[in-house]
Structure 1
Amino acid sequence: MEDSGRYEKATFAAGCFWDVEAAFRMVEGVLETVTGYTGGVVPEPAYEQVESGTTGHVEAVGIVFDPAIVSYEQLLDIFWQVHDPARNGGQGDYTGPQYRSIIFYHDAGQKEAAERSRDRLAASAPYRNRPILTEILPATTFWPAEECHQRFYEKCAQGYGTSHKIWE
């Protein structure tokens, strides 16, 4: 992913990375999205390895954004809306540990923002009796997914539909 002093990174896992990437690509101020794998122990994992559920990796989306246009807090709001954070075994038709909900923070400010955002969501009506299962973890090595998984819906949308619901 692009690295510039004036841009920031965000990394989110919220189920199938095709759906998550598609949601964030539409956001003004998001400059780059990359689907990939992170959080596990296997170096340079392949899709088939991650899908086995044995690598510890999750499907994730790495984001480069311009904080002068979109804030990290706004990206967190979108993250919560594109999946059900009370369902940690996956989203839609996609189930397994590789689809769990995780916010990977890149610095202390992101960690604090993620915790505040999670706590605010947990206090809201839809989640008062449903625990938020999203993990908040330090970002680790991000391994880009194979090219066929990048911008998937732009290339291969026929026959596929997003498995994610926009949650309120």
Structure 2
Amino acid sequence: MQQTFTSPEPTAPRRRLTTALALIALLGGGAILLPTTASFAGEGVLIPAPALDQPASTGTQTAIFAGGCFWGVQGVFQHVDGVISATSGYTGGADGSPNYESVSAGSTGHAEAVKIVYDPSKVSYGDLLHIFFSVVADPTTLNYQGPDHGTQYRTAIFPTNAAQAKITKAYIAQLNAAKVFPAAIVTTIEPQAKFFVAEDYHQDFLTQNPTYPYIVINDLPKVADLKVMFPDDYRKKPVLVMN
């Protein structure tokens, strides 16, 4: 049965859900409660790590990933050790002033995306790709993730340098050759474009709204998969945008 819920932000469009509301009763208020029962089984896939990666280095680096609704993408990477910040926003389109309403209409060419600033001495770009393809997004669905449909919800990687582009291309080829997914990967590798930070009410949405139905059904299982599948990369306390 399809249900519709209104976002806590009055100006935000509604998001449709397709799973039973009874799941909400298993969560408490306040802090995030990670799913532990079979009812919350995620769709994470055990896949090989990238054969090609960057060596550890000092300083900071930036990665930009699009994987459907940015609430879950941001929420997962905020729990990755070595990530300094994960910010929701819009990129990959021609409109010079995108906002949630215009991007959601699917007419601007932008994707909901997350800009990740990370410490390459703690987590590599290849590690981030491994997590992205394992637990964040289904790379075989074209222009949709879960209940969200449209080019704004495409899976896409926006390399910030030539090395990232090379590693991403090689990893997608590696995964396709290994046939770890039931269909070919349709995730695009797109030129880096200007990244527009999303509205404040979208930042830290998963952390701030752990009992919101969309988060419970679509995104908390991804955080649970991260904890189980990448225990060495998981950190309990997320890094937040809005302090």
Tell me whether the two structures share a fold, i.e. TM-score over 0.5: yes
Aligned: 1:163 with 2:218: yes
Helix, strand or coil at the partner of 2:158 = strand
> Residues of 1 paired with 2:217 and 2:69: CA distance?
9
Corresponding residue pairs, total: 163
The worse-fitting range, judged by mean Cα deviation, of 18-27 and 116-125 is 116-125
Helix, strand or coil at the partner of 1:163 = helix
Q: Scaled by the length of structure 2, what TM-score is found?
A: 0.64
> Residues of 1 paired with 2:61 and 2:73: CA distance?
18
| Residue identity matched to 2:206 | Y
Conserved? CA contact 1:36–1:142, under 8 Å? yes
Structure 1 match to 2:132: 79
Helix, strand or coil at the partner of 1:105 = coil
Structure 2 match to 1:96: 150
Structure 1 match to 2:201: 148
| Residue identity matched to 2:152 | Q
Aligned: 1:51 with 2:67: no
Deviation at 1:126, TM superposition (A): 3.1
1:91-130, aligned counterparts within 5 Å? Answer: 91-127=145-181, 130=183
> Residues of 1 paired with 2:212 and 2:79: CA distance?
21
Structure 1 match to 2:238: none
Structure 2 match to 1:26: 79
Greater strand fraction, Structure 1 or Structure 2: 1
> Residues of 2 paired with 1:93 and 1:113: CA distance?
30
Q: What do residues 102-159 of structure 1 show as CA deviations (whole Å, max 9, x unaligned)?
A: 00000100000101111111122333x6111010012110000000000101122222
Q: What do residues 50-89 of structure 1 show as CA deviations (whole Å, max 9, x unaligned)?
A: 0000000000000000000000000000110111101022
Task: Give the superposed CA RMSD.
Answer: 1.7
Conserved? CA contact 1:91–1:163, under 8 Å? no
Deviation at 1:162, TM superposition (A): 4.7
> Residues of 2 paired with 1:162 and 1:138: CA distance?
32
Q: Percent identity?
A: 39
1:130-145, aligned counterparts within 5 Å? Answer: 130-145=183-198
Q: Larger Rg: 1 or 2?
A: 2
> Residues of 1 paired with 2:217 and 2:117: CA distance?
22
| Residue identity matched to 1:79 | F
Helix, strand or coil at the partner of 2:180 = helix
> Residues of 1 paired with 2:208 and 2:122: CA distance?
27
Structure 2 match to 1:9: 62
